[in-house]
């Protein structure tokens, strides 16, 4: 039975991780960032994220050579705040009669319908909260304004020296509809494939940058997370959230699902499964200009 439990938990963990990247709208943040960060955990809760500052150029002296300069690397500790979990039990006979499919289907359904939407909502609302005042706009976007709005966002990044070829656009379903019905605009949308190990994602792109459509439930500026997640009273609907890939550092310490067989469960003749996800998303303090937010007025 021990080997069976190990097989179940390992298989579930692999399946749920792959499902998360493929079906989470923010899974692209884990796939698209070139190189990424090597995360340095101080302890189970806290990760050090480097901020690098270099001295400017100075005049070269033929007599004295180069002026000395400094490379300052400071590490800012960030503490993970989202520690979420749930326990499930599945009757031994239900699982036996299905050949083990009940366990797999139940946990995949939980991941798809509960975990992924909540993590997406947290990540996107957190990123939205990091946008600077200059990088935030309250507006209603009409059909003839869509191209101009993308151009405005690109100009914002260009003005702040953010690479415009490494931007991810998260857009509302309403904006996605405006793109689809605009023949000239839809011609500018292409399809690109991103890879992370064995996982491949095909996404729409605009000027080579990914466009990810976000369901309304996950696309507001603020939420309360308790039993599930709900928008706060002052939450705004987001039109576009544009993110420079190096400006977001998603961290997911996803413990494997722990399985307990009916032989060891005392109060029921059932399998028990403990699901836990410990996660957060961070924006380095010198990368806040890499986030642009357009929300409804």
pLDDT at 34 over 60: no
Residues 6+ apart with CB under 8 A from 191: 202, 203, 204, 205
Handedness of CA 17, 20, 23, 28 (dihedral sign): negative
The separation between the first and the last C-alpha atoms of the chain, rounded to the nearest angstrom, is: 58
Query: 254: closest CA among 41, 7, 83, 11?
Result: 83
Query: What is the rounded average pLDDT of the residues 218-242?
Result: 96
3-state secondary structure of 279: strand
- CATH, residue 269: 3.90.1690
Q: Are 249 and 146 in contact (CB under 8 A)?
A: no
> pLDDT tens for residues 122-164?
999 999 999 999 999 999 999 888 889 999 999 999 999 999 9
pLDDT score recorded for residue 58:
79
Spatial separation of the C-alpha atoms in residues 38 and 286, rounded to whole Å: 17
pLDDT at 209 over 90: no
Q: What are the distances in angstroms from CA 133 to CA 137, 163, 208, 244?
A: 8, 20, 27, 17
Main-chain phi, psi angles of 190, to 5 degrees = -120, -175
pLDDT confidence band for 10 (50 / 70 / 90): low
pLDDT score recorded for residue 49:
74
Q: Are 112 and 23 in contact (CB under 8 A)?
A: yes
Domain that holds residue 194: 2-295
Residues 6+ apart with CB under 8 A from 57: none
Element (H, E) at 260: strand 258-260
pTM of the complete model: 0.84
pLDDT at 288 over 50: yes
3-state secondary structure of 187: coil
> pLDDT tens for residues 36-53?
556 667 677 787 777 777
- Regarding predicted confidence, which is higher, 153 or 109? 153
Spatial separation of the C-alpha atoms in residues 95 and 113, rounded to whole Å: 21
pLDDT score recorded for residue 176:
92
> pLDDT tens for residues 167-206?
999 999 999 999 888 877 777 777 877 765 566 677 888 8
The tokens for 92 are 């031994």
User: How many separate domains does the chain show?
Assistant: 1
pLDDT score recorded for residue 296:
95
């Amino acid at each position: 039975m021990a080997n069976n439990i190990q097989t179940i938990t390992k298989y579930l963990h692999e399946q749920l991780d792959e499902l998360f990247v493929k079906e989470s709208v923010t899974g692209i943040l884990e796939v698209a960032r070139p190189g990424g960060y090597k995360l340095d955990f101080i302890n189970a809760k806290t990760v050090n994220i480097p901020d690098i500052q270099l001295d400017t150029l100075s005049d070269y002296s033929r007599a004295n050579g180069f002026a000395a300069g400094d490379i300052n690397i400071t590490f800012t500790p960030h503490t993970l705040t989202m520690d979420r979990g749930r326990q499930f039990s599945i009757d031994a006979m239900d699982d036996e009669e299905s050949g083990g499919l009940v366990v797999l289907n139940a946990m995949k359904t939980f991941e798809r319908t509960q975990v992924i939407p909540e993590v997406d909502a947290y990540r996107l609302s957190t990123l939205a909260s990091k946008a600077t005042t200059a990088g935030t706009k309250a507006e209603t976007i009409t059909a003839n304004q869509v191209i101009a709005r993308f151009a405005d966002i690109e100009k914002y990044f260009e003005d702040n020296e953010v690479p415009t070829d490494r931007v991810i656009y998260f857009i509302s379903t309403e904006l996605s509809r405006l793109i689809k019905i605009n023949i000239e605009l839809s011609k500018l949308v292409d399809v690109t494939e991103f890879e992370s190990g064995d996982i491949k994602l095909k996404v729409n792109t605009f000027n080579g940058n990914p466009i990810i459509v976000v369901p309304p439930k996950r696309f507001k500026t603020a939420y309360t997370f308790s039993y599930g997640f709900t928008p706060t009273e002052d939450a705004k609907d987001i039109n576009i959230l544009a993110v420079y890939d190096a400006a977001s550092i998603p961290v997911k310490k996803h413990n494997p699902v722990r399985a307990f067989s009916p032989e060891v469960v005392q109060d029921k003749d059932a399998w028990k499964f403990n699901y836990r996800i410990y996660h957060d998303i961070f924006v380095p303090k010198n990368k806040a200009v890499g986030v642009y937010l357009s929300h409804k007025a």
